[in-house]
Amino acid sequence: MKQRKRKKPRKTRPTLARKVTRLIQPAKNADTRFRELVETAPDAIISVDREGRMVFVNSQTERMFGYGRDELLGKPVEMLVPERFRHLHDRHRADYVSQPHVRPMGAGLDIRGRHKDGSEIPLDIGLSPGATDGDLVVTAIIRDISERKRAEETLQARYEELYALHEIGQTVLTSADLKSTTEAILDKALSIGSFDIGVIRLLDPSGRRLKPVASRGYRNPENIRDISTDAEDAAAGALQGKVLTSKGPTVVENLPASPGMRTFKKEGVQWAIVVPIGAEEKVLGTIQLGSRTPRKFQPHEARLLEALGNQLGIAVQKARLFEETKRNLERIQVLREIDRAITSTLDLDAILSLLLEKIDPFLRYPFASTVMLLNRETHQLEPAACRHLDETDWRRHLSDPVHGHGNQWLVLATKAPFKVLNVQTHQQTRHPGFMIRHGLVSFLGV
């Protein structure tokens, strides 16, 4: 019996399916990698059809706008546009569809998107047209530029600070008028934060009272007349005193519930800031600004206002130095005139009359002046000259001098200036009736 030879197994040929698989697998892999890139992209990617419905969104779109993917797909893209811009966006989208091409969206414009919570996001958007199954699809690459905007705003704020300080610096350097300089600084301070109301106060020469020198934005004239503040009372705890002692700015974000600042409360102010006016480690006054609507504190505003306060401090010192120099020159001129009078005449009455006349410009309040000379033979102080007094009445009330008694004798005995705040009640005052009759209250003898 013949044994049949076993046939060798026939080599299997690739099936059509395997061939197709080998052909499309690279495309599938490329598509997978592309989708991974799109899903992990740092920018939001949205594709919309011709009618503006979203047909694709990536993960960053969900994170950026706060919506889930199922809330976006099939919905109009205008839901991601702030409501006030939607009608414009719809029109611009229609224009783009009629002539699609690669371009940035809204070049040069401030483009904003709308988050699910209603907040707005500054955006940069690039547009690119394409086709799916023959239908137009527009893909938008969207980048959140909030950080860049904040950096730009910070840079712009710094520029505005420098420009404002430059402007005020020029005013301080070129203007000799403290009033106009003060008003210019107050106007600049109000514009920095769009404040509604402001006042600048300077300490008086005694350092005990803050007196208003410029104000803006007061609705009630009565409140303007009521904005002097006693610095001593303020130091006990009110806002002005806090600024005077701390030498730094103070912010009140809920003024109606805070102590002090009575006139600002009458004016309906909700938010206030007070900064010192300083020069050479001294506080010369305050700049007080307010807003009638609640607002958030901006640190850069406080820095700029402090700088303005320092500029004003320089202006105040400059004005005071100018006034002091002017007074010194006037004193020198007066002394020269008196010296010429003394050397040109032997008439004592004329010399004393000129002396009292030249005293007038140096005293800024109603006063009377007298000269009494010591008679070396009788050792009595005798009346020699007076100004702004009834001379007959003055000489009559001095007609019975008492040796060693009276304020004038204290000056002579001590050889030093002597002052009395109220001569009408002072024990050393002789003839208080004369003082009362002529309205004389205080005394200064030299």
- Looking at the chain, the whole-number percentage of residues with pLDDT higher than 90 is 15
The tally of CA atoms less than 13 A away on the side-chain side of residue 135 is 11
What stretch of H or E contains 320? helix 299-344
| Residue 74 tokens, joined | 């099939």
The tally of CA atoms less than 13 A away on the side-chain side of residue 353 is 7
Contact (CB, 8 A) for 401 and 412: no
The tally of CA atoms less than 13 A away on the side-chain side of residue 55 is 15
Phi first, then psi, for residue 295 (nearest 5°) are -155, 170
Q: What is the mean pLDDT of residues 338-366?
A: 76
> Tokens 């009408």 identify what position?
424
Question: What are the tens digits of pLDDT across the range 356-369?
Answer: 887 777 776 677 88
CA distance 147 to 131: 34
Question: What is the predicted pLDDT for the residue at 115?
Answer: 95
- Looking at the chain, the whole-number percentage of residues with pLDDT higher than 70 is 84
Q: Is the pLDDT of residue 143 over 70?
A: yes
| Residue 107 tokens, joined | 């070049």
What stretch of H or E contains 384? strand 380-387
Q: Is the pLDDT of residue 78 over 50?
A: yes
Q: Is the pLDDT of residue 236 over 50?
A: no
pLDDT level of residue 319 (50, 70, 90 thresholds): confident
Name all domains of the chain by residue range, CATH numbers in brackets.
29-144 (3.30.450.20), 153-322 (3.30.450.40), 347-445 (3.30.450.40)
3-state secondary structure of 140: strand
CA distance 46 to 50: 13
Rg of the chain over all Cα atoms, to the nearest angstrom: 43
pLDDT level of residue 37 (50, 70, 90 thresholds): confident
Q: Is the pLDDT of residue 239 over 80?
A: no
| Lowest-pLDDT range of 183-192, 232-241, 375-384 | 232-241
Alpha helices in 175-213 (DSSP H): 178-192
Paired strand residues for 143: 124
Within 8 A by CB and 6+ apart from 384, the residues are 348, 352, 371, 372, 373
Question: What is the predicted pLDDT for the residue at 81?
Answer: 93
Most confident segment among 35-39, 109-113, 172-176, 320-324: 109-113
Q: What's the burial of 371, exposed, middle or buried (CB within 10 Å: 0-12/13-18/19+)?
A: middle
Q: Which residue type does 349 have? A: D
| Lowest-pLDDT range of 49-53, 81-85, 136-140, 362-366 | 362-366
pLDDT level of residue 232 (50, 70, 90 thresholds): very low
pLDDT averaged over every residue in the chain: 80
| Residue 11 tokens, joined | 């080599």
Q: What's the Cα-to-Cα distance from 261 to each of 149, 227, 291, rounded to whole Å?
A: 37, 9, 13
CA distance 227 to 204: 14
Buried b (16+ CB within 10 A) or exposed e, 133-159: eeeebbbbbbbbeeeeeeeeeeeebee
The per-type count for the chain, helices as H runs and strands as E runs, is 15, 16
- Which tops the pLDDT comparison, 16 or 113? 113
Q: Which residue type does 200 have? A: I
pLDDT level of residue 249 (50, 70, 90 thresholds): confident
